[in-house]
Amino acid sequence: MDPSTKLRYDSPLLRIYEDGRVERLFRTETTPPGFDAATGVTSKDAIIDGATGVFARLYVPDLATAGSDSQRKKLPILVYFHGGGLVLASAASPTFHRYLNSVASKANVLAVSVNYRLAAEHPIPAAYDDSWAALSWAMSRDDPWLSEHGDAGRIFLAGDSGGANIVHNIAIMAGTRDGLRLPPGALLEGAIIFHPMFSGKEPVDGEVIHMRESVEKLWPILCPESTEGGG
């Protein structure tokens, strides 16, 4: 059989063929950055690492840009990691684009939505490495939007599903690794996780059986070198 048509892995999320091709079955749509009339938020994309293609979509509410420089108040920085089981979606997905527009407007924050690399093409720890690089980049405030409108003394992490898994791991890394050099005045104040994607060798109390079966099937794709059955 032609390896380009023979399936190596099949799930409701994605298919992987014997020749290595990955076919994602949904959440492949993207939407461009720009001004959102409904919320008054403006967004743009900024490259973090040209070699890996990692970028962030930044969101600034209109309140941050109103008035003179002396009148503007710096905003908390929310670094967000999108969901999708670590295999789907992107920072440019319409769902997350709408969500971050809303969050930036209602919470009055400067949001940094991270576009990390996905499995199966890039298994873990690629997503963690990319997210670590993105957090370091956000804290450096090298981008003009971050330097002009972001308060490095009030940085928060947030994410859903696979993104919540990233938040958990990045928060631990930030507390234990020497690689994150905080600029003067920079402070990581907290982390928020929504519907986190976790699993392990042994079931946890209350774990839904069909969800566990799904993650167990997916985990060799996410982390082929793992011997623990989850993370």
**121 and 173 inside one domain:** yes
* Between 1 and 92, residue with greater pLDDT: 92
User: Token pair for residue 41?
Assistant: 């938020």
Q: Are 59 and 6 members of one domain? A: no
Q: For residue 190, what are the domain limits?
A: 31-197
Residue 127 tokens, joined: 């997503």
Asked if 3 and 60 sit in the same domain, the reply is no
Residues 79 and 117 in one domain: yes
pLDDT at position 180 is 61
pLDDT tens-place string over residues 143-201: 999 999 999 999 999 999 999 999 999 999 888 766 566 778 889 999 999 999 887 66
Query: Per the domain annotation, does 85 fall within a domain?
Result: yes
The pTM assigned to this predicted structure is 0.90
Residue-wise burial string across 137-165, b where 16 or more C-beta atoms lie within 10 A, e elsewhere: bbbebebebbeebbbbebbbbbbbbbbbb
Rounded-to-integer distance, Cα 70 and Cα 217, Å? 55
Residue 218 belongs to a domain:
no
Span 15-48, pLDDT tens digits: 999 898 999 988 889 999 999 999 999 999 999 9
